Amino acid sequence: MTLLPVSFFYLIAGSAVFIRRKLGIEHKDADYVSYVLFYTGVSFFILGVFECIFPSPFWGIPLVIGLLLMVRLVIKRTTAILNNRNEHDS
């Protein structure tokens, strides 16, 4: 029962980034981030339903892959923000 709560986190985070982008608060690369987060949440939700029906210890594999994806997105987003700040300072 770990994939369902994680899927809700991804769905909420993806929706929040999308809403912030539409309000003009986020940078242009936030569209990519919101889509990846939202659709990762959708896939985790579907896997979470299967996890409830067919319990297995192997359901942790998609969870680890999703967490690695999140780390990659955070690093990419941080470098984009830092590069943007360096361009404005120059």
Calculate mean pLDDT across residues 7-33: 76
Q: pLDDT per residue over 24-70, tens digit each? A: 776 666 667 777 778 888 888 888 888 888 887 787 788 788 788 88
Question: What is the structure's pLDDT at 27?
Answer: 66
Q: Closest Cα to residue 40, out of 76, 23, 15, 77? A: 15
pTM: 0.64
Domain interval for residue 71: 3-89
Q: How far lies 43's CA from each of 3, 30, 75, 84, in Å? A: 10, 20, 22, 32
Give how many domains the chain has, as a whole number: 1
